[in-house]
Amino acid sequence: MALDDPKTLVSTDWLEAHLRDPDLRILDGSWFLPTMEGDAKASYDAAHIPGARFFDIDEISDSRSSLPHMAPPVEKFVSRMRAMGVGDGHQVVVYDQMGIFSAPRVWWTFRLMGKTDIAVLDGGLPKWIAEGRETEDLPPMMRDRHMTVQRQANLVKDVTQVAHASKLGDYEIIDARAHGRFIGVDPEPRPGLRQGHIPGSKNVPYTELLHADGTMKTPEELRATFAAAGVDLAKPAITTCGSGVNAAMLALALEVAGNHDWAVYDGAWAEWGMYNDLKVATGEA
């Protein structure tokens, strides 16, 4: 049962009921890991929820960084959203083609920019299609819309801040990668990275946040999932993963579970795993 909270998660029923609202904007935020097959933009072009615009996570990013899809500068985000007709006064709903996978990254990017009227579609496009709801292959009509943003620096952490948190233990550092990657027995999908995890971090694989149908667990179930991994929800949290996408899924889950004091480590393992002077832990905690 979805929360139908337009600031976190909304159900397919909610979206269908609001589909023709003039101030609703729908985004397809699909993105695939390097090891996955598929072309997110081509799939969007073939079939998307009516009126949806495609949010390209790799393109709407910081092109000055050598790390994958780091958060975009404010100016770039604003210019891309204006061109897509997304601006002030809009309720945004973002979905992806896998259920809930990359859409939370778009949700977090909006939150980082101070925009809170955004929700992830619970169950995403697979649930929408499975329920026989409408799709189209037409590009949406887009008119420029003014957008004002105020970047929320507290929602993102850099490598220095994460290294301090790892040393001091004053944050719960939560890693969304699969357990085999976390303990260092399975290879990383990006070449050249060390294997293992940030010392002191806890492992909550992103798949454990979801029901079998691809919808997110209830707040009570999420709290139990975090507790089972040894996460103290009373402490502030830093979320991480391979490249910052599933870290945002943990952030969304924390928000739904009632912990509002969280930040995403944007560089994630793509950064931490690259530098030999940063300590790496392996094996079980």
Q: What are phi and psi of 28, to 5 degrees?
A: -95, 110
Q: How close are the terminal C-alpha atoms of the chain, in Å?
A: 34
Residue 108 has which token pair?
Answer: 């977090």
CA 68, CA 58: separation in Å to the nearest integer? 7
Give the residue numbers marked as catalytic: 241
**Which sign does the torsion angle of CA 114, 120, 125, 129 carry?**
negative
Cβ atoms 184, 201 nearer than 8 A: no
The rounded distance, in Å, linking the Cα atoms of 100 and 207 is 9
Going through the chain in order, the beta strands assigned E by DSSP cover 9-10, 24-28, 53-54, 91-95, 118-121, 156-157, 172-175, 202-203, 237-240, 262-265
Q: Of the candidates 229, 252, 224, which has an alpha carbon nearest to the alpha carbon of residue 239?
A: 252
Q: Is 140 helix (H, G, I), strand (E, B) or coil?
A: coil
Closest to 27 measured CA to CA, from 114, 99, 104, 93: 93
